[in-house]
């Protein structure tokens, strides 16, 4: 298990940006939030948190707790811009960046030859040096633990959770520290006798599954420090496919190849429009009796060109038994990654 997942979460994001841009706000309780009686706190600087002010609290209440606070409406355009600058730093290390919010993202740095702990430290340093802001960073071997780690010693935290210490770190924690467990699930878990993560890890798996279904199994796995979710960059389609139903059913290979050529071209065009490439080609056929069959092949490299897609589809067609006529054929490109970002980003 490699420590290739990094989770970055900026500290008191909106408030820190305001403090950075206006020296008078430095070291002061700054509260960003909506205006008016019904406004709520978006975030509070760490100085303001000492008064008990936190996100989602009504502004009215915040003013009671911290009358000397500096209350600002905030500038979302600016926060968005800074968010872009932070992501630009991430992209120097990997294209596998999955933002969760303006100030938060998962990175998978498995493709980078540098040691991931070193990458994480560099990212932290660059955010500080170039953007004059602090981030809290967690490094681990999966998303759940990386996010947990980044939250460990905020602000300006840095924590690594290795496979050897994962259980030691998570076992004593309350079940609400499991990914996706909100107040309701936490309460139900406690009614069932699961208070700490260790209770789940050592508990009755079938009870969890009976109670929560698939989610119960996932909780059981998370409690062992296991999480198989991948870091998925946004906007990338999971697959690109195109299929066609024939006017006349056929088992003629020449005709089928002709269709495959057209379909390959369409899939290649879509890949080019979306600027993606893929590793897996799937050929789907539907026989005249509506029976369906699909065959896949995954290659080492990545493809996106018509001729490459066609070549693989043709190989797959050879594996299809043509004892009945076919009424539909389709090609799908999957296992998709962005094409050409490397060069663009270096420019
Ligand atoms: P968070 O990362 O949750 O909070 P934060 O960055 O302000 O503080 P922390 O150091 O604890 O990470 O959210 C990021 C930004 O999102 C936050 O600065 C403001 C905004 N936000 C809201 O507008 N409403 C909310 O309820 C929350 C939680 C955040
Ligand atoms: Mg944050």
Residue ranges of domains in the chain, CATH in brackets: 5-11+77-160 (3.30.70.270), 14-76 (3.40.1170.60), 167-223 (1.10.150.20), 239-338 (3.30.1490.100)
> Residues of the chain with pLDDT > 90: what percent?
89
* Nearest ligand to the C-alpha atom of residue 45: 1
Model confidence pLDDT, tens digit, residues 76-102: 999 999 999 999 999 999 989 999 999
Q: Cβ distance 282 to 331 under 8 Å?
A: yes
Annotated binding site: 9, 103
CA distance 179 to 223: 10
In the predicted structure, residue 275 carries a pLDDT above the cut 80: no
What atom of ligand 1 comes closest to residue 14's alpha carbon?
A: 18
CA distance 264 to 246: 16
pLDDT given for residue 36 in this prediction:
76
Rounded to 5°, the CA angle 245-250-253 comes to 110
Pocket test for ligand 1, best of 75, 103, 124, 135 (most atoms within 8 A of CB): 103
At which residue do the structure tokens 């018509």 appear? 306
Residue 215 to residues 43, 129, 190, 255, 304: CA-CA distances in angstroms?
A: 31, 42, 16, 47, 36
Model confidence pLDDT, tens digit, residues 219-231: 999 999 999 998 8
The string of DSSP codes covering 100-143 is EETTEEEEE-TTSSS-HHHHHHHHHHHHHHHH---EEEEEESSH
CA distance 296 to 99: 31
Q: Cβ distance 41 to 33 under 8 Å?
A: yes
Ligand 2 centre to CA of 290 (Å) is 52
pLDDT given for residue 340 in this prediction:
64
269 CB near ligand 1 (under 6 Å): no
Which residues surround the ion ligand 2 when the cut-off is CB under 5 Å? 9-10, 13, 103
What's the pLDDT band for 273 if we cut at 50, 70, 90? confident
Closest to 297 in 3D by CA, of 312, 314, 318 = 312
Model confidence pLDDT, tens digit, residues 38-58: 899 999 999 999 999 999 999
Q: Cβ distance 268 to 292 under 8 Å?
A: no
Ligand 1 centre to CA of 266 (Å) is 43
293 CB near ligand 1 (under 6 Å): no
Q: Cβ distance 8 to 135 under 8 Å?
A: yes
Model confidence pLDDT, tens digit, residues 130-148: 999 999 999 999 999 999 9
Residue 23 carries which DSSP code? G
89 CB near ligand 1 (under 6 Å): no
pLDDT given for residue 238 in this prediction:
87
Mean pLDDT of the chain: 94
What's the pLDDT band for 235 if we cut at 50, 70, 90? confident
Model confidence pLDDT, tens digit, residues 11-33: 999 999 999 999 999 999 999 99
pLDDT given for residue 196 in this prediction:
98
Ligand 1 centre to CA of 69 (Å) is 18
How far is CA 151 from its chain centroid?
A: 17
What's the pLDDT band for 34 if we cut at 50, 70, 90? confident
pLDDT given for residue 344 in this prediction:
46
Ligand 1 centre to CA of 8 (Å) is 13
The string of DSSP codes covering 293-325 is EEEEEEEEEEE-SHHHHHHHHHHHHHTS--SS-
What atom of ligand 1 comes closest to residue 154's alpha carbon?
A: 10
Annotated binding site for Mg(2+): 9, 103
The residues annotated as belonging to the active site are 104
Q: Cβ distance 233 to 95 under 8 Å?
A: yes
Secondary structure string (H, E, C) spanning 133-200: CCEEEEEECCHHHHHHHHCCCCCCCEEECCCCCHHHHHCCCEHHHCCCCCHHHHHHHHHCCCCEHHHH
pLDDT given for residue 73 in this prediction:
95
Q: Cβ distance 225 to 163 under 8 Å?
A: yes
Model confidence pLDDT, tens digit, residues 311-333: 999 999 999 999 999 999 999 99
Q: Cβ distance 147 to 106 under 8 Å?
A: yes
In the predicted structure, residue 201 carries a pLDDT above the cut 90: yes
Question: Could you tell me the two tokens for 175?
Answer: 């079940």
In the predicted structure, residue 35 carries a pLDDT above the cut 50: yes
10 CB near ligand 1 (under 6 Å): yes
Report the pLDDT averaged over residues 281-291: 97
pTM for this prediction: 0.73
Residue 194 to residues 165, 184, 333: CA-CA distances in angstroms?
A: 21, 13, 44
Between strands 104-108 and 97-101, the pairing is antiparallel
What's the pLDDT band for 338 if we cut at 50, 70, 90? confident
């Amino acid at each position: 298990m490699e420590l290739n997942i990094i989770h970055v979460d900026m500290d008191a994001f909106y408030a820190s940006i305001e403090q950075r841009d206006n020296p008078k706000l430095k070291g002061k309780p700054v509260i960003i939030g909506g205006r008016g009686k019904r406004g709520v706190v978006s975030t509070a600087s760490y100085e303001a948190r000492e008064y008990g002010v936190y996100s989602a609290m009504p502004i009215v209440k915040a003013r009671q707790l911290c009358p000397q606070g500096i209350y600002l409406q905030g500038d979302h355009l600016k926060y968005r811009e800074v968010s872009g600058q932070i992501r630009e730093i991430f992209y120097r290390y990997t294209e596998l960046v999955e933002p969760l919010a303006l100030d938060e993202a998962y990175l998978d740095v498995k493709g980078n030859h540098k040691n991931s702990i070193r990458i994480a430290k560099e990212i932290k340093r660059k955010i500080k040096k170039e953007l004059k802001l602090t981030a809290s960073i967690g490094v681990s071997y999966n998303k759940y633990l990386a996010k947990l780690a980044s939250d460990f010693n905020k602000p300006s935290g840095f924590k690594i959770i290795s496979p050897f210490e994962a259980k030691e770190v998570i076992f004593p924690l309350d079940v609400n520290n499991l990914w996706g467990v909100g107040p309701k699930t936490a309460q139900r878990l406690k009614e069932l006798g699961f208070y700490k993560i260790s209770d789940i890890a050592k508990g009755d798996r079938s009870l969890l599954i009976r109670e929560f279904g698939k989610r119960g199994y996932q909780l059981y796995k998370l409690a062992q420090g296991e999480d198989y979710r991948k870091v998925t960059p946004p906007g990338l389609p999971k697959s690109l496919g195109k299929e066609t139903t024939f006017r006349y059913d056929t088992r003629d290979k020449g005709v089928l190849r002709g269709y495959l050529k057209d379909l390959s071209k369409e899939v290649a065009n879509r890949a080019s429009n979306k600027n993606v490439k893929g590793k897996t080609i799937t050929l789907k056929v539907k026989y005249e009796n509506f029976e369906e069959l699909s065959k896949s092949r995954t290659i080492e490299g990545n493809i996106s060109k018509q001729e490459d897609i066609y070549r693989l589809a043709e190989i797959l067609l050879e594996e299809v038994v043509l004892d009945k006529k076919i009424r539909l054929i389709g090609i799908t490109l999957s296992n998709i990654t962005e094409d050409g970002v490397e060069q663009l980003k270096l420019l």
